[in-house]
Amino acid sequence: MKIRLVATLMLALSLSAAPALSQPKKDTVVLAMTLEPPGLDPTAGAASAIAEIVLYNIFETLTKVNGDGRVTPLLAESWSISPDAKTYTFKLRRGVKFQNGEPFNAAAVKYSFERAVAKDSVNKDKAVFANIASIDTPDEHTVLLALKNSNPDLLFQLGQGTAIIVEPKSVATNATQPVGTGPYRLDSWNRGASATLLRWDGYRNASQVKMRRATIRFISDPSAQVASLLSGDVDAFPRVAAARSLEQFKRDKRFQILIGGSRAKVIVAINNKRKPLDDVRVRQAIAAAIDRQAVIDGAADGFGVPIGSYYTPGAPGYVDLTAMNAYDVAKARALLHQAGVALPLELTMKLPPTPYARQGGEIVASMLDKVGIKVKLENVEWAQWLSGVYKDKAYDLTVIAHVEPLDFGNFARPGYYWGYESPQFNALWDKIQATANPDERNRLMGDAQRLVAEDAVAAYLYQPTWITVANARLKGLWKDVPLFANDLAALSWQ
């Protein structure tokens, strides 16, 4: 009996230990985002939150921008570039299908790029595709782009959300039922709460994708963001508003903290078409009335670098222009007097629901009040901001982060929401686009930075430093943010 009892106990112990040894690794993940996108087609909307869900997950591009900023092959397996950077030849990956079963080929690339520049296109990077003089497809797996002007940045730009390759039959419904070639497909979208993506078994490398399901929750309130991480309801929160809670997370071994740079620019956008904001002296006065570092300290808890133009430290050709429109209350008052502005000047500032905008707007309004500018703050939801500010230009001021790394050409865009029209800038931008030599191009970029700083198109505030807080066992997260994306296929549990 004793021998039989001991044997039974040993067998029970071995069986109880077995599940721990054979248990499969966790294959689901929950991420969170501050903003919910208005749709899921990055070619049809300006919101960066769209790409945070779909880029590299549902939709793919010819090239891929990695977390360290390197550009590597994706749907294009290789390419060659002419010495003048005006001809790009792409060799496409074979055997790729869209999630509706249609083949990916050169015709799909040609269709996607021609659609991006069509008359009715609202693609925010339309200018990139307008620079394409012709698209040749000598065979199903080759695409040749001939450019009007050289563009050494094209490989990076073709890895952004605005350059996704779409399947022609799906374009009408991509905003709600996206169809791409990526490793995930949309399973559900619970408006106002979350979106769920499932691994697509038809993906070419489906066996290498570790996460079977990814849920992305939308949490705008900073306190709720922190609480969701501490409770374990969220596994990772890229670009979280948790600066004031960092010490708490640092002391907790359950978490990892990633702090990285960006190419984003937080600005006070100014409607250059509205009086008296159409007077450069008034715009310069607004810029001079703002203490950038105080805004960084108050709205970003110190996580940012002051900027003096629409360009960030580390970008090619960067020039430090923070002294040009430096904080100077006396200068601001003098400029308003020179412009003949009757004080108090009453303006409105429409603020989207991001914490940096709401908090930053209050701080900026307080500073402007000291020079006689009375600002009425209007909190709007993201959809209202896109329609009222970005589309209809119905605003005086707003606080917004432009997160795209290569968007200086916005100053040459006709009808852009800040209403800046400058033949001098347009001529300079055309010259930059036609210049292939890197040194000369960087010199001209310096001239462009000076011009938009002198014209005070906006009050340029700071380059944000992004914080990601995540479960310590989650691997594959980006540290730096060359563009807004969450590469789900790179994630795995340790």
Q: How far apart are CA 343 and CA 451, in angstroms?
A: 28
| Structure-token pair, residue 52 | 């945070």
CA distance 225 to 218: 9
Domains 70-165 and 182-261+466-493 share a fold: no
d(CA 350, CA 268): 10
What per-residue confidence (pLDDT) applies to 21?
Answer: 38
Phi, psi dihedral angles at 211 (to 5 degrees): -90, 115
CATH ID of 70-165, from 3.90.76.10, 3.90.1150.10, 3.10.400.10, 3.30.70.360: 3.90.76.10
Q: Please write the tens of the pLDDT for every residue from 62-83.
A: 999 999 999 999 999 999 999 8
Task: With H, G, I as helix, E, B as strand and everything else as coil, classify residue 186.
Answer: strand
The HSE-up count of residue 491 (CA atoms within 13 Å, CB side) is: 30
Q: What is the pLDDT of residues 224-260, one digit of tens each?
A: 999 999 999 999 999 999 999 999 999 999 999 999 9
What are the structure tokens assigned to 31, written together?
A: 């991420």
Write down the pLDDT at residue 375: 98
Instruction: Report the pLDDT value the prediction gives residue 46, as an integer from 0 to 100.
Output: 87
* The pair of three-digit structure tokens given for residue 215, joined into one six-digit string: 């849920």
Angle between the N-to-C axes of helices 438-454 and 423-433, in degrees from 0 to 180, rounded to the nearest 10: 160
User: Amino acid identity, residue 27?
Assistant: D
Provide the residue type at 231 as one letter. S
**Residue extents of the structural domains in the chain:** 70-165, 182-261+466-493, 265-464
Confidence at residue 24, expressed as pLDDT on a 0 to 100 scale: 60
Q: How many CB atoms lie within 10 A of CB 23?
A: 8
Question: Per-residue pLDDT tens for 412-447?
Answer: 999 999 999 999 999 999 999 889 888 999 999 999
List phi, psi (to 5°) of 85.
Answer: 55, 35
Percentage of the chain modeled with pLDDT above 70: 95
The answer to whether 213 and 196 are in contact (CB under 8 A) is yes
Q: State the pTM of this model.
A: 0.87
| Sequence-separated contacts (24+) of 124-129 with Cβ below 8 Å | 124/46, 124/162, 124/404, 125/157, 125/160, 125/162, 125/163, 125/404, 125/407, 127/409, 127/412, 127/413, 128/154, 128/157, 128/162, 128/163
Q: How many CA atoms lie within 13 A of 96 on its CB side?
A: 27
Q: Under CATH, domain 265-464 is a member of which superfamily?
A: Dipeptide-binding Protein; Domain 3 (3.10.105.10)
Q: Could you please report the per-residue DSSP string of 262-303?
A: B--EEEEEE-TTSTTTTSHHHHHHHHHT--HHHHHHHHSTT-
Which one is the CATH code of 182-261+466-493: 3.40.50.300, 3.40.190.10, 3.30.450.20, 1.10.760.10? 3.40.190.10
d(CA 53, CA 59): 10
Identify the DSSP state of 159. Answer: T
The pLDDT tens digits along the chain (494 residues) read 444 433 433 444 344 444 433 446 799 999 999 999 999 999 998 899 999 999 999 999 999 999 999 999 999 999 999 988 899 999 999 999 999 999 999 999 999 999 999 999 999 999 999 999 999 999 999 999 999 998 989 999 999 999 999 999 999 999 999 999 999 999 999 999 999 999 999 999 999 999 999 999 999 999 999 999 999 999 999 999 999 999 999 999 999 999 998 899 999 999 999 999 999 999 999 999 999 999 999 999 999 999 999 999 989 999 999 999 999 999 999 999 999 999 999 999 999 999 999 999 999 999 999 999 999 999 999 999 999 999 999 999 999 999 988 999 999 999 999 999 999 999 999 999 889 888 999 999 999 999 999 999 999 999 999 999 999 999 999 999 999 999 999 999 99
